[in-house]
Amino acid sequence: MTHVMKSAALQTDLQNQEDQASVSNDRGKPPKVSNPLMFLRRWAANPLQMGSIVPSAPSLCKRVARQIRRNPDQYVVELGAGTGVISKALLDAGLPPEKLYVVEIVHDMAEHLRQVLPGVNVVEGDARELAKLLPDHVRGNIGSVVCGVPLVLLPVAEQRRFIDAIQAVAPGVGFLHYSYCVTSPLPFQKHGLTAKREEWTPRNFPPASVWRYTPVR
């Protein structure tokens, strides 16, 4: 069996399992934020969009949440929200849902996020087009950006597109980026950024760090 056929067979099997899980949830149970089957299926379809085969662990989610900086009137933007486990941690840490914008390119994941994150602004689209995706009152009024897109897997030119998109809507703010790399996942000097590892947790699979990247002033 070829690699393509194996991948297609894996996606079909995962979809069937996910559908069965959805039926169970429909029987009076609220949908769960963490959906490992959905996550694994999307990883099988496009590893470059996911970066991991499972959602982030609670230990990592809490570490991301405690690094958020914002004034009461400011928004938080999360790129590549996946199944919403980090979004949920942000809400649990006290972020009002109306102050959170999550951007997700995968349609079924965006639909999932709308179900499990009531009140949160879910935007389906490409994070490289942030200036077009976010409304006027949000652009320029962002306290923190959380990037869950696996930038380390992208060429430098593509990394630059994401960084420029963030800079366009949150000038000078920079972004938080969680990664499974031992060292910085970005060549930050090439991008005119400073880098600081704010958090590290061995309890995530695989172990993960939270990096803060800030434009050099």
CATH number for the domain that contains residue 82: 3.40.50.150
Looking at residues 138-159, what average pLDDT do you find? Answer: 95
One domain, residues 60 and 164 = yes
What is the Cα–Cα distance from 75 to 3, expressed in whole angstroms? 43
Other Cβ atoms within 10 Å of 211 Cβ, number: 25
Q: Give the global pTM.
A: 0.79
State whether 102 and 166 are in the same domain: yes
Query: Do 12 and 118 belong together in one domain?
Result: no
| Residue 110 and residue 36 in one domain | no
Are residues 81 and 182 both part of a single domain?
Answer: yes
Bond before 206 cis per omega within 30 degrees = yes
Q: Domain containing 18: what range?
A: 3-44
Same domain flag for 55 and 40:
no
Domain boundary at 12, 29, 44, which? 44
Residue type, 147: C
**79 shares a domain with 10:** no
Q: Which of 1-10, 117-126, 166-175 has the lowest mean pLDDT?
A: 1-10
For residues 100-121, give the mean pLDDT. Answer: 95
